[in-house]
C-alpha cells in the first residue's frame, strides 16, 4: 500500500503467463471497451512467460515500447492505449519506457497478447502505486486484449461476459487453483509464421457475416455451465467433450464467415486426428486450437510423455512445447527482465 508520504516507485516489473481457452471467447459486444459477446473459461500455463518492465520517466516525450528487443510500431499502439488508461487512473501525464520479453514465439497462436497485457498492467499498476485489485487489473488488461483479462489469474479461470454497458462486471475470476487439478499441455508448433488474420479482425468478420453467429451466442451459457461443473468435479471426460466442442464450433463459425477464415494447416488437422485417436484408445487427452495453426493437447500428467511422442511423430509438427498449469500475473525484480532470453523455450 502506498501513501502520499511514500511516493510510487515509477518503475516496476511483472511476469504473466499465456492462457489457453477451453471455452472460447470469439466476438465482442462493445469494441471500444473490448467487452466480449460471450463468457469464456481458460487454463493459465506455467513455463511460458512474458516479462515486462515499465518505467515512467519525466524525460520522455513519447512512450517507448520494445517487444523482444525490437521497437514494434504495430504492437506499440495498443500498449500506449493501455498505458493511457493507467495514466488517466493515476492522474499523471508521464510517458513510459516499456521493455517486454517472451520466452516463446510472439504472434503465432500462443496468446502472447494475453500474457503481454497482463504483465503490462501488473507492472504499471505497481509503478504508479495504484494498488488495484486483481479484478481491476483484469478489467484493464481486458481493454488491451480480451484474453489478457484471464492471465491475471492462475489455474482455471472464467472471464465473465458481464451485463453492464461500462464493462465493470466483465472481469475474470479464478475457478480452481493450478495445484488443485494438475493438467499437462503439449503445444504442437506447426508454423512459425505470424498469423494472417488476427483474432480481433477474425472475430469482427465472423460476427458481421457468419450465418451461425446467433447460434453461437445462444449456446455459450450451456457450454460454460458444463465446463464449470467438469472442473469443479475434476471430470476429465466431461471437460474434454465440451472443450473440443467449443473449439470446433468457434472454427465452424469462422469458416462460414465471408470470406471464410481457415486458421488450420494440414499438420494442425493431422495432429487433431492423432489426439482423437489417442483418446479413443483410452489415453486421457483432448485438443484445442485458437486463431492460428498450433494444436494444443491437454492431458493428465501421466499421459504427457505419450502425447508428446505422438505429436512429435505427426508430419509437419516442427516442435512440441510442454507446459503445466501455472500462476497468475505477479511482480518480479527488474533484473529478471533482462535475463529473459536465457530461458527461451
| Binding stretches for ligand DP6 (CB under 6 A) | 21, 24-26, 34, 40, 113, 145-147, 199-200, 290-291
| Shortest reach from residue 285's CB to ligand DP6, in Å | 20
Grid cell of 101 as nine digits: 520479453
| Shortest reach from residue 43's CB to ligand DP6, in Å | 11
Nearer to ligand DP6, 108 or 291 (CB): 291
Please name every residue paired with 97 in a beta bridge, in sequence order, or none if there are none: 55, 64
| Torsion-angle region of 66 (φ positive above 0: left; ψ -120 to 50: alpha; else: beta) | beta
| Shortest reach from residue 25's CB to ligand DP6, in Å | 3
Which helix (H) or strand (E) segment holds residue 213: the answer is helix 213-232
Phi, psi of 336 (to 5 degrees): -75, -15
| Shortest reach from residue 146's CB to ligand DP6, in Å | 3
SS3 10: coil
Nearer to ligand DP6, 12 or 18 (CB): 18
Nearer to ligand DP6, 25 or 153 (CB): 25
Which helix (H) or strand (E) segment holds residue 60: the answer is none
Nearer to ligand DP6, 102 or 113 (CB): 113
| Shortest reach from residue 75's CB to ligand DP6, in Å | 11
Nearer to ligand DP6, 56 or 117 (CB): 117
Nearer to ligand DP6, 126 or 261 (CB): 261
Dihedral of alpha carbons 283, 227, 175, 53, sign: positive
| Shortest reach from residue 87's CB to ligand DP6, in Å | 21
Any idea what DSSP says for residue 202? Answer: H
Amino acid at each position: 500500500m502506498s501513501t502520499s508520504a511514500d511516493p510510487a516507485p515509477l518503475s516496476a516489473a511483472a511476469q504473466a503467463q499465456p492462457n489457453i481457452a477451453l471455452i472460447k471467447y470469439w466476438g465482442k459486444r462493445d469494441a471500444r471497451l473490448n467487452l466480449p459477446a460471450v463468457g469464456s473459461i481458460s487454463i493459465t500455463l506455467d513455463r511460458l512467460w512474458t516479462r515486462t518492465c515499465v518505467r515512467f520517466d519525466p524525460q520522455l516525450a513519447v512512450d517507448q515500447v520494445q517487444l523482444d528487443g525490437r521497437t514494434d510500431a504495430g504492437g506499440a499502439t495498443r500498449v500506449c492505449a493501455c498505458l493511457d488508461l493507467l495514466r488517466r487512473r493515476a492522474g499523471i501525464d508521464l510517458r513510459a519506457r516499456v521493455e517486454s520479453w517472451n520466452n516463446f514465439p510472439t504472434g503465432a497462436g500462443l496468446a502472447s497478447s494475453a500474457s503481454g497485457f497482463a504483465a503490462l498492467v501488473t507492472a504499471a499498476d505497481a509503478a504508479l502505486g495504484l494498488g488495484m485489485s486483481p479484478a481491476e487489473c483484469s478489467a484493464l488488461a481486458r481493454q488491451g486484449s480480451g484474453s489478457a483479462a484471464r492471465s491475471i489469474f492462475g489455474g482455471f479461470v472464467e472471464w465473465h461476459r458481464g451485463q453492464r454497458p461500462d464493462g465493470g462486471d466483465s472481469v475474470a475470476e479464478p475457478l480452481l487453483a493450478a495445484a488443485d487439478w494438475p493438467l499437462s499441455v503439449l503445444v504442437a508448433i506447426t508454423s512459425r509464421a505470424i498469423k494472417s488474420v488476427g483474432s480481433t479482425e477474425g472475430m469482427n468478420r465472423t460476427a458481421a457475416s457468419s450465418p451461425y453467429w446467433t447460434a453461437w451466442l445462444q449456446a455459450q451459457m450451456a457450454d460454460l455451465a458444463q465446463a464449470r461443473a467438469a472442473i469443479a468435479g475434476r471430470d476429465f471426460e466431461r471437460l474434454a467433450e465440451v472443450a473440443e466442442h467449443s473449439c470446433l464450433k468457434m472454427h465452424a463459425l469462422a469458416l462460414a464467415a465471408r470470406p471464410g477464415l481457415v486458421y488450420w494447416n494440414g499438420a494442425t488437422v493431422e495432429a487433431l486426428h492423432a489426439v482423437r485417436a489417442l483418446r479413443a484408445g483410452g489415453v486421457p487427452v483432448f485438443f484445442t486450437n485458437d486463431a492460428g495453426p498450433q494444436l494444443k493437447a491437454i492431458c493428465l500428467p501421466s499421459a504427457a510423455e505419450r502425447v508428446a511422442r505422438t505429436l512429435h511423430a505427426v508430419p509437419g509438427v516442427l516442435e512440441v512445447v510442454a507446459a503445466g498449469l501455472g500462476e497468475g500475473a505477479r511482480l518480479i525484480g527488474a533484473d529478471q527482465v533482462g535475463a529473459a532470453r536465457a530461458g527461451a523455450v
